Amino acid sequence: MANKVVVLGSLNMDSILRIPRLPLGGETMEMTDKSSAPGGKGANQAVAAARAGAQTSFIGKVGADDAAEVLRDALKSDNISVEHVTTDEQRGSGQAFILLQESGQNSILVYAGSNQSLSKADVDAAKDVIKDADFLISQFETPIETTTYAFEYAQSVGVTTILNPAPAIPTIPADLLKVTDLIAPNETESATITGIEVTDAASMLLNAAKFAQMGCKELIITVGARGAFYANQNGSGFVDAFKVKAVDTTAAGDTFLGALSSQLKPDFSNMREAITFANHASSITVQRLGAQPSIPTLDEIKAEYK
């Protein structure tokens, strides 16, 4: 039986600008290529979940513009329900400008647009689909108060909540942490939230202890090309990444979380196995260009899975 995943989050139209390196202050640099593709952390995670086999629904907001239909159609093409993707008549659809260096590293500028008008009313309208889910996932590219409201409802009806605290903020409201079952930052986001730099196994355990104090007893910290650390009430561990040559790291973290949600059991009893699967999905993503175009299908993950 496939996991049922609901993602509450952002939809952006991504412009990918390929450059040799980041320009210096005052420097003019010629791009080597330019392309566009649907993105947004929320949408990327939903696509990753759906392609990895989860039955997926999306709660989000687009503008009354040309990008809106492209963003909706991209979700629908992966059989993601867009019944609760509504239109903001005042703000344009979200946009992201990705500066992709030859090294494969990227820097991203984001215009939030309609993503910031996602409201409690949108959550109310989607309560039936949330109630029917195994997992509700959200990030920080939409209003935190909306996520908190959605997570409170999800927990009240027995749905497991997963928070991807990205982009990172130093202080997450206690009300949100209280209704977060699993928090999944990368190492930079984790350090921003806890104040403890992630450098080795000991520092990861210190981060886990800090998150437990905050009320999050289930934790995954992704550490890029190294892999992912997890900690919960039953213990902790590290799952190594698959070694590949990265071409573009855009959406690697989103692929990880979406793929994870497709395999994870709501009681977290198969955490290590689900992380291994998610690491493998991410390793495929980073070998391709773009956000959603790079996310693998279940067949692709299984074909290469060792």
Written as tens digits, the pLDDT of the chain (306 aa) is 899 999 999 999 989 899 999 999 999 999 999 988 899 999 999 999 999 999 999 999 999 999 999 999 999 999 999 999 999 999 999 998 989 899 888 888 889 999 999 999 999 999 999 999 999 999 999 999 999 999 999 999 999 999 999 998 989 999 999 999 999 999 999 999 999 999 999 999 999 999 999 999 899 999 988 999 999 988 899 999 998 988 888 789 999 999 999 999 999 999 999 999 999 999 999 999 878 989 999 999 988 655
Q: What region, left, alpha or beta, does residue 49 occupy, with left being phi > 0 and alpha being psi -120 to 50 degrees?
A: alpha
Q: How many CB atoms lie within 10 A of CB 279?
A: 20
Answer whether 0.85 is exceeded by the pTM. Answer: yes
Binding residues for K(+): 248, 250, 285, 288, 290, 294
pLDDT of residue 108: 85
Backbone φ and ψ of 66, nearest 5°: -65, -30
pLDDT of residue 118: 98
Residue 266, preceding bond cis, omega within 30 degrees?
A: no
Cα torsion through 254, 256, 261, 263, rounded to 10: 150
Domains of the chain: 4-10+40-93+115-304 (3.40.1190.20)
List the catalytic residues. 254
pLDDT of residue 106: 83
